[in-house]
Amino acid sequence: MPAKPRKIPMRMCVGCREMKPKVELLRVVKPQEGDAHIDRTGKAQGRGAYVCGQIECLRKAKKSRALERALEAQIDEAVFAQLEVQIEALGAEAGQTP
């Protein structure tokens, strides 16, 4: 009997609004206490939203306030700056140029 094909979980990027496999997206999580940050494990407690690993998607989500709506919280400029640095670092790790 052939193996069943595995279902690939899909999530929507809040920046470009495209559905992509969950493993290709970065999860931004906002715990009840504390600032929003990138969740590398995908299992951190709190409300989560997904964004592509591209800096343009984060900037688009910031401009349209989509990330704030998805996380149901105000996000400081410092947190956005920190998220940009983390995304750039992840792009550098993967050998991509942002």
First CA to last CA across the chain, in angstroms?
Answer: 45
User: Measured on CA atoms in the order 82, 14, 47, 63, is the torsion positive or negative?
Assistant: positive
Given this model, what pLDDT does residue 98 score? 45
> What is the model's pTM?
0.82
More confident residue, 2 or 38: 38
Mean pLDDT, residues 5-21 taken together: 94
In this prediction, residue 67 carries a pLDDT of 92
**What structural domains and CATH numbers belong to the chain?**
10-93 (3.30.1230.10)
* pLDDT at 83 > cutoff 90: no
C-beta separation of 31 from 57 below 8 A: no
Query: Under DSSP, is residue 25 helix (H, G, I), strand (E, B) or coil?
Result: coil
Q: What SS3 class is residue 46? A: coil
Q: Single out the residue of 27, 38, 43 nearest to residue 85, CA to CA.
A: 38
